[in-house]
Structure 1
Amino acid sequence: MSDLLMLTPEQMRRIEPYFPLSHGIPRVDDRRVLSGILFVIRNGLRWRDAPAGYGPHKTIYNRFIRWSRLGVFNRILAELVARGGGTDKLMIDATHLKAHRTAASLLKKGLLPRCIGRSRGGLTTKLQVVCDDKGRPLLLHLSEGQANDHKTAAAVVEQLPPARFLLADRAYSSAAFRAALAERGMTPCIPPHAKHRIQHSYDAVLYRERHRIENTFARLKDWRRIHTRYDRCAHAFLSAIALAATFIFWINES
C-alpha cells in the first residue's frame, strides 16, 4: 500500500460533507475507493488495471460513473471554491485535449453531449478554465475542439465570481466579451488583435501574471486520463477533471 496514492484523513474531512447519503447497505470504504479513482485518473490506467489494494475494480468504476451522473465531483469542487474566499483577479483560457478513438464511439444522436470535435488534425475536446490569482480552477467548461474561444466564454461569463480584473489572451478580444465583462464591473486585461480597428489598452505588467493559468493546464495534463480523453460521455470526463483539480489545487496543501 506504500506505493499507492491514498487520501489523508484531513483531505477526506474536507470533502466528505458533500458526499451523497448512503441508502440501505453502507457504502464500501469511501477513502479507499476515491483514492483508487484518483490513482486510475492520474496514471491513465484501464479501470480493470487498478491495483488490488484499492479493492475490486468494478466497485471503483461503478462509484465513479454513478457519482459522475449525480454531479458529485463537480459539486465538491464548487463547494470548495465557494469556501476558498474571493479574488480581485480572474484568468480564463482554453486548451485542447486529444480524444482517443474509444471516446468517439458514442453515437452523436445520444441523449448526452459528447463535446468532441475535429481540430488540430484529429478528434479533440476543448477545456476552458477560469482560475483565481493563485492559478486554482474555479470554473470548468467543455466544448468541441473546433469551438471559438470567446464564443465558448459566453457560456461561463454569467457564472464568473466577482472580481476587478479578468486576464485573457487575444483570442478573447471581442467587443461582445468585453461588453459582457463591463456589465459585471470587470476590467479586461486582454491584448487587442493587431488587425482590430480599435486598439484597446491593457496593463502589460498585470498581464504577465497570466502564466499561472498556463501552469494550471500543465499540472492537469500531467494526469494521463486528462491529457488523453478515454471517457465517451462528457459528464464523466468533466468529473475526472473536477476530481483531479480538487485534489491538486484545493485539498493537497503540500
Structure 2
Amino acid sequence: MRRHELTDEQWQVVEPLLPVSGAKGRPRVDDRRVINGMLFKAKTGVAWRDLPERYGPWKTVYNRFWRWSRTGTLSTLVATVRVIAEAIDELDREVSVDSSIVRAHQHAAGARRMTPRATQEEAGSCGEHSEPDDHAIGRSRGGPTTKIHLACDGHGRPLSVVLTGGNVNDCTMFIQVMAGIEFRRPGSGRPPTRPSRVLADKGYSSRAIRSYLRRRHIPATIPERRDQQANRLRRGRAGGRPPIFDRTAYKRRNIVERCFNRLKQFRAIATRFDKTALSYRGMIDLATLLLWL
C-alpha cells in the first residue's frame, strides 16, 4: 500500500460491493489496482495520461471510471458503504446544509452543449444519473465556476450532493438537496428521510424553505436576514413572530464547512478539470467513499 491508496481493511469492505464482470477476452485488470489509480487521480489532480505505471494502462483506469460514474456504480458504492457505517456507528441525524464554489479549469471547457435529444439519450443510458445541459458550469464574476450544494450529517460526512453552475442561488436548490437525504439501515423497508434538525446560514432564510421544513416537522436553526427582520418589524403585528433561533445549536453548523475542507483536500475537487458533471460527480463520490470508510 502506498500513499492515497486503499488500506487492506478498506479493501475488505469495498471488494464484495463491486460489480462482477462476465465479459470474456483478455484478463481483467485488478479492481483494487484500478480504484487506487482513480484515487490517485482524485487526490493529486493529474491528467489521466500522467497516471503512474503501477496502476496499469491509464486508458483502462479512465474507461472504468467513465463507465462507473455513468451507470451510478460509484454512487451506489458510496450508499452501500454508508449503510455499513451507519449500522456500526450511532448515526447523528442533525444535518448541516451549505454550498461551495469551485473554479472550473480551462481543461473543463469544450464539452458539447447537450441538445434535447442528446440529453434524453444520456438520461436513458445513465438512468437517474443524467448529464445537465450546461454540464454544471456557470459563468459568474470569477469566470466559469461550479457550485457544490451539500448536506452532511453531524460527523461531517456527506449525505446528499447536487451540482449546479456557480451562478445558481443557494436557496433554490435546498429542497433538491434535502430530497437526496436517506438514513438507510440494513434490511428491507423504507429508509427514514427526516433529519432531527437542519442547520443552515442566512442564505437559506426564506419563507418557502421555512414552510417546507414546517410541513415535514423538521426543526430548523436558520438565522434571519436583516432585511427580513426590518420588514417584519415594519409590518408590526401583521409581520408575525420571529423564527426560533438556537444560538448554541447554530455553533455546530461549521461541521459542513469542515466537510468541504476535507473534500477539497482532493485536488481534482478543489479545481474542476472534468468536462462533464457526471465525471466531476464521480470524483466527489470517490472522496466521499474515503470519508465514510
Compute the TM-score of the two structures, normalised by the length of structure 2.
0.80
Paired residue type of 2:98: D
Task: Report the CA distance between 1:54 and its aligned residue.
Answer: 1.1
Cα-to-partner distance string for 1:202-224 (whole Å, 9 max, x where unaligned): 11111101111101111111111
Alignment of 1:1-254 (within 5 A): 3-25=2-24, 27-85=28-86, 86-110=91-115, 111=119, 112-113=131-132, 114-160=135-181, 161-196=193-228, 197-198=231-232, 199-247=242-290, 249-251=291-293
- C-alpha distance in structure 2 between counterparts of 1:213 and 1:23, whole Å: 41
- C-alpha distance in structure 1 between counterparts of 2:165 and 2:18, whole Å: 30
State whether residues 92 and 129 of structure 1, in contact with CA within 8 Å, keep that contact through their aligned partners in structure 2. yes
- C-alpha distance in structure 2 between counterparts of 1:93 and 1:4, whole Å: 30
Task: Report the CA distance between 1:4 and its aligned residue.
Answer: 4.2
Relative to structure 2, which stretch is displaced further, 100-109 or 117-126? 100-109
State whether residues 18 and 72 of structure 1, in contact with CA within 8 Å, keep that contact through their aligned partners in structure 2. no
Paired residue type of 1:108: R
Task: Report the CA distance between 1:155 and its aligned residue.
Answer: 1.4
Query: SS at the partner of 1:97?
Result: strand
- C-alpha distance in structure 1 between counterparts of 2:180 and 2:278, whole Å: 18
Query: SS at the partner of 1:154?
Result: helix
Q: Show structure 2 runs of 5+ residues with no match.
A: 120-130, 182-192, 233-241
- C-alpha distance in structure 2 between counterparts of 1:210 and 1:37, whole Å: 31
Paired residue type of 2:166: G
- C-alpha distance in structure 1 between counterparts of 2:148 and 2:275, whole Å: 15
- C-alpha distance in structure 2 between counterparts of 1:22 and 1:38, whole Å: 21
Paired residue type of 2:249: L
**In structure 1, what is the equivalent of residue 125 of structure 2?**
none
State whether residues 149 and 171 of structure 1, in contact with CA within 8 Å, keep that contact through their aligned partners in structure 2. yes
Task: Report the CA distance between 1:24 and its aligned residue.
Answer: 2.2
Could you say if the C-alpha distance between residues 193 and 230 of structure 1 is closer, same or farther in structure 2, counting changes exceeding 3 Å? same
Task: Report the CA distance between 1:185 and its aligned residue.
Answer: 1.9
Q: CA RMSD in A?
A: 1.6
State whether residues 18 and 75 of structure 1, in contact with CA within 8 Å, keep that contact through their aligned partners in structure 2. no
Query: SS at the partner of 1:24?
Result: coil
Cα-to-partner distance string for 1:139-186 (whole Å, 9 max, x where unaligned): 111011111111111212233332221000010111111111122221
Compute the TM-score of the two structures, normalised by the length of structure 1.
0.92
Task: Report the CA distance between 1:79 and its aligned residue.
Answer: 2.0
Paired residue type of 1:239: G
Cα-to-partner distance string for 1:191-246 (whole Å, 9 max, x where unaligned): 01111034423111111011111011111111111011111111110011011111
Paired residue type of 1:8: T
Task: Report the CA distance between 1:3 and its aligned residue.
Answer: 4.6
Query: SS at the partner of 2:109?
Result: helix
Query: SS at the partner of 1:139?
Result: strand
- C-alpha distance in structure 2 between counterparts of 1:82 and 1:141, whole Å: 20
Cα-to-partner distance string for 1:62-91 (whole Å, 9 max, x where unaligned): 111111111111111122233433433111
Aligned length: 249
Query: SS at the partner of 2:195?
Result: coil
- C-alpha distance in structure 2 between counterparts of 1:222 and 1:241, whole Å: 11
Paired residue type of 2:269: I
